[in-house]
Each structure stands twice: as structure tokens, then as C-alpha cells.
Structure 1
Amino acid sequence: MIQVALYGKGGIGKSTVSANLSAALASSKKRVLQVGCDPKHDSTRLLLGGAGIPTVLDYVRETPREAQQLEALVFEGYGGTACVEAGGPKPGVGCAGRGILSSFEVLKRLGLRASSFDVVLYDVLGDVVCGGFAVPLRKEYADAVFLVTSGEYMALYAANNILRGIRNFEDAAPRVAGIIFNGRGIFAEEERVFAFARAVGLPVLASIPRDEVFSRAEKAGKTLIEAFPASAPAGLFRELAGYVETLEKDRNLLHPANPLGDLELEALVLGRRERPFIKPFGTGPAPGKKPGAKPGSLSLENRYSAEICTEIPEVQSAELSSGISEKKSVEIPSGIPEAQSVEIPSGIPEAQSVEIPSVTPEEVSASSPASPPTRPPLYGCAFSGAVTATFQVDDAATVLHGPGSCTHITADALACSYLRGRGRAVPTGAEKQTPGLLPTDMEEEDVIFGGLEKLERRIEEALLTGWQTVFVVNTCPGGIIGDDIREAASRAEVRFPGARVIPVPVEGVLTGDFSTGLLEGCKRVADLIDPSVRPEKGLVNVIGERSFFLRGEEDFRTVERLLKRLGYGVNCRFLKGTDTLSLRSLKKAEINLLACDDPETRALQAYLSGRFGLEFFELPFPVGFRESSLWVKALAARLLPGKDPSPLLQEQENAYKAGIGKYAPHLSGKSVLLVSYSEDIGWVLDTIRDLGMEILKVGIPVSCFGRESPGLLSREGFPVERNYTDAKRAKDVRGLRPDLVLSSYVPSAPEEGVHYDTIPFSPQVGFLSGLELAKRWSTLLRLPVTEGWKYDGGDES
């Protein structure tokens, strides 16, 4: 038994060659199976008297799995040949390559075995040798590959590409049989084909001339072997069939794949020895560009700028103008049509009347980030990030166009249980009982034939059940096959006037990581903001709260209480537990407060300020007593010039000092070794010193978490060591003998004889952050260092 794959450019006559070769083999008493692997499903037509047969993909789509039978897919053609057509989706939708994969799996499941035949012939589309169309090239399917080509350049180009595909699959055993030259009758065609054959080291097994007899046979719906067996071309196919029978017995006649490079192919077929000079588009050099610079090259000067732009893609430039009233100009990329250049005040006047605690303008400036934080490594996918943004709009549904597994993974990450009833959630009154995540549950059939119909049904279902705002988010499969969620959203809005259907064009990992998707989701949620609303005194927005932070609500309430003491309320939280009404009136806030200071939040700030002209207070939510004091003073000076926040500060200072006084007796004089990824640990250092503890050393391990700030710890009166390792920590524990080791992580093998505690990645916000740690340390250091399960570390007696 031998399996043969015929590849060639579309329209080259490959199906005609395949059918005639199968007929010639059948006439020599061979049991032949021909499988058409082209979406136009006409490979076996001449073997079946011109009739078409049901395709595997159509049959599987229309027939329940338990009712499927092999007899409905395999039909008998000329000379007893077995004929099968894989089929494919409608033009322009789905993935035909995946369809080929699925067809082979179905045929195998239903019991079609290649071993039942003498020759299995696969007629494959050769223009696209993707993973699906390359299935017959795999070792388990193709023993020999024939290349069908004419002398036209694109036909030879396709043949050369097929050789590249074969080489990717080829193991030690060669599998290329040779070239079948199917003539078109053009000038010097034969010379080009034979020159190509010599260049790639393959024989030309048959030269089939252009002959009217083919048209006559095709009109009769028959092969030459059946309609005109005495014709000269029919004899060529019988010779070719004989060669296939020889290959079955002697695989040494096969050849390895040795494709040409593109320039080699052009030189051989077109006579080009070098490619012409191509001038980059444009009328002249860009301003400031040095003549002769290579396109796409980066000078030392602009390479740094390019690296910065990759960290926060939304922010293209930031210019500081001189003067007392310092402003920061933020430009948004031209790819965002609604974006425009705006100015955001960043200067924070100092409140002169506040004395507790004293603070200088330089200290306020030092609290602001001097440079964007280093971007952490990629994690998650853009689909999950986008859904995390859209699902936080309480009165909006999110349609998830992708496999059910993607929905379940994302739901699990959000720590919710809203997938009951396959994710169908409906609004009850003005409240949403469960987040409205509506998966389309794409299956293999949808990947092959396209999933837009299912997507549109799901959007319609959401709108019919009462949702007035629906987001549509795409996954990798939907993006790969080209399902256009924008088109589905537009059609839904036409059918449901007054509804908002907002596409979020992320495509899983194809678009990027979680952070990329989160930002894109936030942008599309921002589409709900009414730009005509005017700011009102006494309101602020909170921007950029972390989605997965368990203490988020507690921190928000802490900030809310501080704002209330200053006479301000929260207008909208973007994005956390918000709704469409709050989003529409987002511009009512006088100023916007940042919850975090990270690349994602800063990129969101740049987008919102650029698109809507929002003003931001530059300092993020504060952590620790000193930072909180700075934050309150600066915010009061910004919002309430002349108002003295001293009563609020004195109240917080009293509470802080009371807590320190409670825990200091247990901790004073104790020594501490710190191991922290981040150098922004001033609040921890302040707490340690306020408790009367001694800081022995700070070690900074190599990490992408946090940002390096060499000047932040250099002014402290203790040693700081960077590139800190576990081995150095173990040595310092033995040498310095600390009472407590504070670390960003729990060591896998902690040293004995010392207490360990962790530094929280997301510490409590507000004046009393340090007291939470002080309480833990007070309890921890009163416990024995080495605990015994029999006697609690005490004396056995």
C-alpha cells in the first residue's frame, strides 16, 4: 500500500490530474481511494460521472455524532474507486485548514482505513501550506508527494513553497516523487519547468500537453481513461500509474526536498539577478533625519525613547514647560481618533499653614514617580484582561466569543460563581444578581465554518433579556478565523435601536497579555462617558483600583473617609463596581485620584486625560503615616487652598502614636534584616524606626517587580546591597543574627533560629498601614523561635 499526495497551485489542473491518475490505477485492478482536500470539493467529480457528493464537513455539521456513518461519506466511482470530499466553509469565513484536520479525524473515527486500499491519493490545495492543508504531508499520511505545476512563475513559486513545507515535515526518509508538468501552452514553458526541476534535484515524471481532449472529457463528466482511453494523454496517465506502482515496491526512487530561495527562483524563472531598488514611501527625509540612515534603524539618541514608548504605549511624549505653574503635556497616538493633546497640571502648591508633620516641596516632589515603573513580565491573555474590565460595569453584559473553556478560566480567575445556567445571567430590577457573562461556546464546527451567526444570536439573546449595554470580547480562535465582532455589533444595534453594543477588539494572546487587554477593555468602557458633562465642586473620581485585590474595598473606604473629612465625595470608580449612569457622568468630578502607581494605571491616565481632558492628582493612594500626611496636605492644597487640614492630621497622628505605644514595648531594641524586591519601602522603614527597632541591612534581589531607585535608600543610615541572593541572606542571618527577617517572599528553606515575616505586595492604604505589621511582629516575636509540638518550646521538665 502506498499513500500519495498531489499538491499544486490552485487552478493548475491538479484535480484533473488526480482523477485521471486514480482512474488509470483502477483500470490496472488497484483498489484506489481518492480524498479531495480542497474546499471547492470537485476533486472526484470526473470519477463520479460529473456528480457532486456530500462533503465530510457538511455531513458532520448536519448529522448528530451518534448517527454518523462512513457509508454516507464514501462513494464508488469509475473502476471501483472510493471517493471522498473533505469540503470546507463558505468563502471568507471560518478556517478551511482546520476543516481538513477535522475531516481526517472524522474519517478515522468512522473506520476508514488506508490499509484497506492499494493506493490512497490525496488531492490537496497547494496555494496555502498551513497547518491544516499540510496534514497530507505528515509521515502517517503521505509516503510520496507529487508536485503538479505549469511553467508560469506563480505555479513554480507554489511548487517551491510546497517543497519548503515538505522539508519542515521530512525526517530521514525522502518523500518527494517528482514533478508532473501540466502544460498551459505558453512560450518557453517547458524549458522553465525542466530548469526548475534540475535546480531542486527532481525528475519530471510526466509532461502533459494542453489538449482539447481534456475539455471534451470534462463536458462528458468523465476522465480520459473512461471517455478517451486510446488518446495520447490517457497513455501518459497509464505510464504515471505504472510509476506509482513501482514506487510502492521501491521507495529508493523518492527524493529529499531542496527548495530554492526566493532570489534563486526569480533568477531561474524570471531571469532577475538582483532586485530593483525600492524607495521608501514619502517625498523626502523626515525632519531631523540624517541622510543615508537605514530605514527602521535607531540612533543611540532615539533608541532610549523607543524603549520608553514600549513600556507605556499610550504615552508618546511628555514635555515640561518652564515656570512656577508646571504643566505636563501628554500626547496620545494618532491611531486613536478621539485623542487630542491636553495639558495636565502636575504642580502641587505647598500648604504653608500645616505643621504636623512638616514637609518641604522637595519631599512632595520626591513622592512623585521620577520615571515610569519597569514593566513586569507578560502574564495572562488580552481576552481575560478585557473581560476583567467590562464585567465590572454592573448593568452591562459581556458576550464572550470563544470556547467555553476560555469563559470558565476567566470566571475562575475573577473568583465568581456566575456561570450557573451556562453563563446566562439576566438583570432583576435595577440590580444585577450575577455578572452577565454570556459565552458563545465556540466548538470545532464554529472554527471551521465561522462563528458569527452564533455570536449574533448570543448578542440578541442578551438584548432580549433586558441588557441595554453589551460588550463583545473576542478570543484567539475567533481572531484566527477572522470573525468580525464589529460587524456583529453594528448589525445588533440596527435591530435594537437605543441599545449599546460595544466590540472590544482583543483576540486573546494574539493581541497581547492581560495588561494589554485590561487597558483596551477600559478604553471601550470609556466609550460610555459623556464628554459634554461639566465638572462640579466637591466630587472626585477614583481611577485604576486593582481588580483582584482582596483588600480593595477596605482601602477604598479608608480613602473615602479621608475625602469626606475634606468635604468631598466619590462620583465614580473607574473601574470597580460601577454602572453606566456613573460612567456617563464621570466628567462631573473636579479631579481624578489614582489608586495605584503602575504602568497600566499610568497608561489609563494618559488615555483618559488625552481623550476627555481629565485632570489628575498625581500622587497615588498613600501607604504609611508619612506618605499619607503628604497626600492629605497636597490634596487639600490642590482642592481647598487656604483650608487647614491640621485637625485631620492631628487626629490620625494620635491614632498612630497610640498604636505604636501599644506594640513598642514588645519590639523596641529588636533587630531586623529586610529583603525586598521593591525599594519603595519607606513606610516599612518608618514603622520599624518608630517602634524603636534596629535596621541591620536591606537586600534588594534581582527582580522585575518594583522599580530600581538608587537614591531612595542611599540616604539611610544602614547598608544596602543590591543583587541580593538567598545565599547572601543565609550568610547574613548567621553573621548578623537578626531577631526578625522581613522578606517579599517566603524562603523555600528558611534558616533556623530566626523569625520570618513577609512584606505585603499590596499594603494597607492610609495612615495606619504600619500598625498592621507592628501587630503581627508583636505576636510573632513573643513566640519561641523553634516550636515543639510536645512542649511549645519550653523546658521538658
Structure 2
Amino acid sequence: MENEYDIVERFADAVGLPIVARIPRSELFARAESEGRTIAELFPGSDAAKEFEKVATHVLSIKKNRSELRESRPLNDEQMGMIAKGERITGEPGADDTEKGTCRVCMRKPLVRKATTENRILSSCATAGAVYGCLSVSDAVTILHGPRSCAHIMSALKGIAEVKRGYGTDLQSVRIHSTEMDDTVSVFGGAGTLEQRIRDLILEGRKNFFIVTSCVSGIIGDNAIDVVNAISNEHPEIYFRVIEADGNITGDMGTGYVASADAMLDAVDGSVSPEDMTVNTIAERYLFRRGRDPDGGTRALFSALGIRMNCRFMYETTLESIKNIRLGKMTFAAGDDAESKRISRLVESKAGISVEKGTLPVGLKGYKAFHKKMGEAFGIGDVAEEVCLRGERRYLSEIGRLRKRTEGKRAIIEDRFTADIDWLLELLSDLGIEVIKIGMGPRHEWKEHPESRYGEMGIPFAENYSIGDLNSDIRELEPDLVLTDSGLTSLDVRATGYIRPDVGIEGVLEFGRRLANLMSVPVIEGWRRYA
């Protein structure tokens, strides 16, 4: 190709990246391929092999010193056209009257675009977390600026979770759209496909958009904000937010999930005042409860007290309810995991409302404390006390029935990831099950070590607990039951997984019934005895 080196040099200068090697065209490639070997193996002294060695040396150097990684300057379509015509770009690429990297629509910086400094293996990406967060807004479209395969995987996993929860209609998983980026975008860029997808959806009548970038758009330097700025000038009535998650370049799923919360909270109306007998919830997840009414626990908890739920932020909501989130007199976080805590801090700082300490109650102890708190906060002490007593009587009655099958049993808990198992220890105690050991994984960051909270129970704790430790304890201690929040053991023992149940007491009772039923079946199924 004529002047191909000049074209590459102009592109490298424009985006601010060095040319690491110049690999020459050579018939040696065809000869090596026909032998099923590489250039370096078959022709180690060739010019091409020497250039590949430069690439390898450069990669190894970056691996040792991440500071050598460089941030590229994204180019828009006009600038790419200039390079293709043989022109050099002068000045700052993409310079205009808007602060660099800022969206005109919301005048806020997106996620910082940077070379990742993560040294740990990420099991998920920020794009997936951002997409899942945005899908909770029912009257908005989420566009994944990335490959079709990524959108398919995210939609499928979300859909599976929804089916398990018992949903059949209005699935969040169908709210995702993709720009279907393929290998051609590495040459021509994907800004054009993003623009076309947005315009097509506007023609369909869509009014609210979240655009989430993937690793592909991040690596090639697509500027989604430029695209949104141009369209928003034509359609000021359309609501846009861009979340530059860039796959796992910016972090893992939790990072993206929090970033989506940050973007949503831009819609909050600061002039709204709280109304009595209304509450908000934050960052509810797909909890334990399944079946016909999988979300009923949270609704029932408040409706029994005559309290209206205003906004279920990051669960199932609308932009209008996010805008009016300040209507809620009280706001509760559903969980105590790291992402929920970060989202709570965002809500406090951006919406200007206080998030209650503690989480929505799980188990009888929390249930009683919750009703006392609500009675005082809303001046409905008599109603709250009556509702609480009814729930307590129902709980104690059911526990008494289940205890006939569980009392005197002994259990080991493997707690590798769950920060709060208070509800589980309370349930086991109520069922008469003795906890003979708790093995904790290496990922815990305790404010207060659980041994100090449960020291009076005499439970031995083991840190950095592995599957090998669990199997060894099963042989030595011979428990009747193993409860785990990770993989199940392969040894012959009754075992079941656990996650945080639905709020209130019903989710805990459902898990109690599972344990009681487990105690009623043989340790080894009959067919296995003859296998």
C-alpha cells in the first residue's frame, strides 16, 4: 500500500501513541504459515522476526512497569477523514468549547478513562455492572456500545435471574440494545453506528437513554460523548447519560454498578421536599425469595404500616421517581455490601438525603427493632407494635414446628464472601442447631471481627478457610449440616448454600423450612448407594 507508513505515523501522532515496531511485508509469512510455525521459529534472523522481538520486549516492559502505558487521544469522524486524506491534525484533537471529556447534556465528567492498574484477576467488568444498573429504569433505553455477543450474554444472564425470580412480563433483560460492534470498527471507528442506533430509537419514540461503553469502544477511543452532544443539540427534549465503563479497563462489575447510580442521580430535583409516610429503598438485589410475588417482602414490610414506597432505586424504578427521590421521608439500604455502601454515600451527597444506618431487617431481632424505629419516626407506635407482635407470633409458631426436626443438630458454616450472617446465626439458634465452627474466607474486611460479637456463643472461628479445611473439618467434626456461600463440598454430608434472604421474617422462615426438610432426607440418596 502506497505511503502506508506515513498514514500510520500521522495516526500515531494524532492520538499521541508511539509506533513500537515496523513489521515489513514479506513472503516469509506465507512460508512460515505453510509449515505451521511462526516467523520467529523458522526465520529467527529475519527483519520481521527482529521487529516481533521488539513488540515482545515492549509488552514485557509494560508488564513490569504499568506507568509506561499511555492514554490515547480519541479522534472524531472528521479527524479520521483528514488522516485518510493524508492530512495532519494540528492542535488538540476533539477541541471545542466544552471542557474536554465533559458531556454537554449533564456537564459532568464520566468515569475517568485510563490505563488499568488492576493487578488482580477481574471476574467481571464495569460495563456489565453499569448495564445491569441502568436496566432497572423501566422508562429508559440502555444502549451497550459494544459487540452483540456482550449484549447477548448480559441480557441472557439477567433474563435467567428474572425467570428464577418468577417474572414472566416486563423483563429488564429486554431493555438492552447494542451497536453490534465488530472487527471493522477497529479501522473505521464505531461512532457512526452509535449515532445511527440512537437516531433509530428516537424515531421509535424513545425519550430517555443510557449509553454504556465497552472495552472495544474504550480501546479504539470512540468518543460517545461527542455523539451524544451532537444529537442532544438537535433534540434538547431527550434525556441522555453516558457511562464510560470501557469493559474492565475501569474496574469490575461493582465499579460499573456504582457508576450507573452516579449517572442516574443526576436526574434528582433538589427542590422537592419530603412527604410523610413515604420511604425509599436503595440497591435492592435479586434476593432469595422466588415465585409468584418475588418482590412482595419489601412491599409488605411497609404497606402493613400504611407507608408508601416512593423510589426503589437501582431495583425497579422510573426516571420520574428518581427525580422525586427526595419525597421519601426515610431511605433504607437493602444490603451492607461494599457497593450498597458506596451507593448510599452517593445518594446522600447528590440527592441531599440521609440514608438510615443499618439495612432492611432480616430475621426476628431486626424485625422488632425496625418496627420500633418506624413507630417512633412516623408517630404510629401502636400500629407498629401490633404488626410486630403478629409477625413475632407467626415466627415463633413456625420455628416451634420446625425445631422438632432440627433440634440437637450440629452445623459448620463456610462464610467466604458474606459480611453479615447475623440472621443465619439467629435462625440456627432458634432452631436448636449448634454451630460448631465458622470458616471465613480471605476477602472479609470487618469493622468488628465477628468473634467479638458472637464470643458468648463459644463458636470457634477460622480465617483464610479453604475447601481443604472444610473437608478436613467434615471428617473430624462430623457435622449434620454444612452451610456455605460458595461451592458445595463433595463429601457425604447434608449441605446447602445460603444467601441473604428476603426482608422481614418470611424469607428467614422459608430458609428454615429448607433446613428442616434437609434433615428429613438421607445423607446419601438411595440411588447413589447402588451406583
* TM-score (norm: length of structure 2): 0.74
Sort the Cα spacing of 1:527 and 1:417 in 2 relative to 1 into closer, same or farther, 3 A.
Answer: same
Tell whether the 8 Å contact from 2:374 to 2:384 is kept in structure 1 after alignment: no
Q: What does residue 407 of structure 2 align with? A: 668
Tell whether the 8 Å contact from 1:546 to 1:552 is kept in structure 2 after alignment: no
**Letter of the 1:386 counterpart:** A
1:637 correspondence with 2:381: no
Q: What does residue 396 of structure 1 align with? A: 140
Same amino acid, percent of matched pairs? 27
1:406 correspondence with 2:373: no
Sort the Cα spacing of 1:136 and 1:403 in 2 relative to 1 into closer, same or farther, 3 A.
Answer: farther
Q: What does residue 593 of structure 1 align with? A: 332
Displacement after TM superposition at 1:433 (Å): 9.7
Q: What does residue 513 of structure 2 align with? A: 775
**Letter of the 1:575 counterpart:** M
Displacement after TM superposition at 1:492 (Å): 0.8
Q: What does residue 19 of structure 2 align with? A: 129
Q: What does residue 657 of structure 1 align with? A: 396
Tell whether the 8 Å contact from 1:626 to 1:767 is kept in structure 2 after alignment: no
Q: What stretches of structure 2 of length at least 5 have no aligned partner? A: 32-39, 56-106, 111-119, 163-169
Larger RCO (alpha carbons 8 Å, 6+ apart)? 2
Q: What does residue 5 of structure 2 align with? A: 38
User: Whose helix fraction is larger, Structure 1's or Structure 2's?
Assistant: 2
After the TM superposition, which residues 599-610 of structure 1 pair with which residues of structure 2 at under 5 Å, given as runs?
599-610=338-349
* Structure 1 Cα separation of the partners of residues 292 and 6 of structure 2: 55
Q: What does residue 358 of structure 2 align with? A: 619
Tell whether the 8 Å contact from 1:676 to 1:698 is kept in structure 2 after alignment: no
* Structure 2 Cα separation of the partners of residues 591 and 451 of structure 1: 44
Tell whether the 8 Å contact from 1:668 to 1:692 is kept in structure 2 after alignment: yes
**Letter of the 1:606 counterpart:** R
Displacement after TM superposition at 1:134 (Å): 4.3
1:495 correspondence with 2:234: yes
Q: What does residue 79 of structure 2 align with? A: none
* Structure 1 Cα separation of the partners of residues 53 and 272 of structure 2: 67
Q: What does residue 106 of structure 1 align with? A: none
Displacement after TM superposition at 1:399 (Å): 2.2
Tell whether the 8 Å contact from 2:147 to 2:179 is kept in structure 1 after alignment: yes
Sort the Cα spacing of 1:138 and 1:594 in 2 relative to 1 into closer, same or farther, 3 A.
Answer: farther
RMSD: 4.1
Displacement after TM superposition at 1:91 (Å): 9.5
**Letter of the 1:741 counterpart:** V
Displacement after TM superposition at 1:170 (Å): 10
1:683 correspondence with 2:427: no
Q: What does residue 526 of structure 2 align with? A: 788
* TM-score (norm: length of structure 1): 0.51
* Structure 1 Cα separation of the partners of residues 182 and 52 of structure 2: 38
Q: What does residue 480 of structure 2 align with? A: 739
* Structure 2 Cα separation of the partners of residues 670 and 416 of structure 1: 35
Sort the Cα spacing of 1:646 and 1:451 in 2 relative to 1 into closer, same or farther, 3 A.
Answer: same
Sort the Cα spacing of 1:788 and 1:90 in 2 relative to 1 into closer, same or farther, 3 A.
Answer: closer
**Letter of the 1:687 counterpart:** L
Displacement after TM superposition at 1:668 (Å): 2.2
Tell whether the 8 Å contact from 1:401 to 1:478 is kept in structure 2 after alignment: yes
Provide Cα deviations, 1:524-558, integer angstroms capped at 9, x if missing partner: 12222222212111111111112587759956422
Sort the Cα spacing of 1:393 and 1:681 in 2 relative to 1 into closer, same or farther, 3 A.
Answer: closer
After the TM superposition, which residues 52-63 of structure 1 pair with which residues of structure 2 at under 5 Å, given as runs?
none
Q: What does residue 715 of structure 1 align with? A: 456
Q: What does residue 115 of structure 2 align with? A: none
Aligned with residue 384 of structure 1, among 123, 128, 143: 128
* Structure 1 Cα separation of the partners of residues 187 and 54 of structure 2: 33
**In terms of mean alpha carbon deviation, does 550-559 or 763-772 score higher?**
550-559
* Structure 2 Cα separation of the partners of residues 465 and 91 of structure 1: 41
* Structure 1 Cα separation of the partners of residues 374 and 26 of structure 2: 67
* Structure 2 Cα separation of the partners of residues 642 and 730 of structure 1: 50
Displacement after TM superposition at 1:446 (Å): 2.3
* Structure 1 Cα separation of the partners of residues 431 and 300 of structure 2: 27
Aligned with residue 451 of structure 1, among 173, 190, 193: 190
3-state SS, counterpart of residue 136 of structure 1 = coil
3-state SS, counterpart of residue 457 of structure 1 = helix
1:571 correspondence with 2:310: yes
User: How many residues are matched?
Assistant: 455
Q: What does residue 435 of structure 1 align with? A: 174
Sort the Cα spacing of 1:490 and 1:691 in 2 relative to 1 into closer, same or farther, 3 A.
Answer: same
**In terms of mean alpha carbon deviation, does 518-527 or 661-670 score higher?**
661-670
* Structure 2 Cα separation of the partners of residues 780 and 432 of structure 1: 33
Aligned with residue 544 of structure 1, among 283, 292, 300: 283
Displacement after TM superposition at 1:255 (Å): 12
* Structure 2 Cα separation of the partners of residues 407 and 787 of structure 1: 41
* Structure 2 Cα separation of the partners of residues 35 and 628 of structure 1: 75
Tell whether the 8 Å contact from 1:462 to 1:470 is kept in structure 2 after alignment: no
* Structure 2 Cα separation of the partners of residues 136 and 550 of structure 1: 62
3-state SS, counterpart of residue 527 of structure 1 = helix
* Structure 1 Cα separation of the partners of residues 234 and 51 of structure 2: 60
* Structure 2 Cα separation of the partners of residues 378 and 632 of structure 1: 40
Provide Cα deviations, 1:378-405, integer angstroms capped at 9, x if missing partner: 4311111111122221111122222222
3-state SS, counterpart of residue 698 of structure 1 = strand
* Structure 2 Cα separation of the partners of residues 620 and 388 of structure 1: 22
**In terms of mean alpha carbon deviation, does 756-765 or 396-405 score higher?**
756-765
Q: What stretches of structure 1 of length at least 5 have no aligned partner? A: 1-33, 42-86, 96-126, 144-168, 178-250, 260-334, 339-375, 419-430, 793-797
* Structure 2 Cα separation of the partners of residues 415 and 649 of structure 1: 36
